[in-house]
Structure 1
């Protein structure tokens, strides 16, 4: 399942709660269960931003 479909599914659950009559103030703010760090090295280079090797090693994915 793609990351985007997980976000859409989560959003649909929130909307369903509201459509079933829940008040907006009663629907809790929820965070995704997992975060990903993706670094676009090509864009960083184009902007002149240097990214430390330590941060790159922590990334889940890098875009060359």
Structure 2
């Protein structure tokens, strides 16, 4: 995501008008779960969701 932001900023710094830049949708999604925060709020993620997570914060 930050790489896309940097590309947009580069275009703007080179003179592109922000209103004329296309809106791009992400093609890759990353699932991150914060187990410590979830536990604090009493949330329990199902095992199948934890198994699918790309990043788990403990």
Structure 1 portions without partners, runs of 5+: 1-5
- Count of residue pairs the alignment pairs up: 58
Structure 2 match to 1:21: 15
> Is the partner of 2:33 in helix, strand or coil?
strand
Give the TM-score of the pair, scaled to structure 1: 0.67
CA RMSD of aligned residues (A): 1.9
Give the TM-score of the pair, scaled to structure 2: 0.72
Task: Output the CA distance in 1 between the equivalents of 2:39 and 2:12.
Answer: 44
Structure number with greater CO (CA < 8 Å, separation at least 6) is 2
Correspondence list, 1:1-64, <5 A = 7=2, 9-64=3-58
Structure 2 portions without partners, runs of 5+: none
Once superposed, which parts of structure 1, at least 4 consecutive aligned residues long, lie more than 3 Å away? none
Deviation at 1:39, TM superposition (A): 0.8
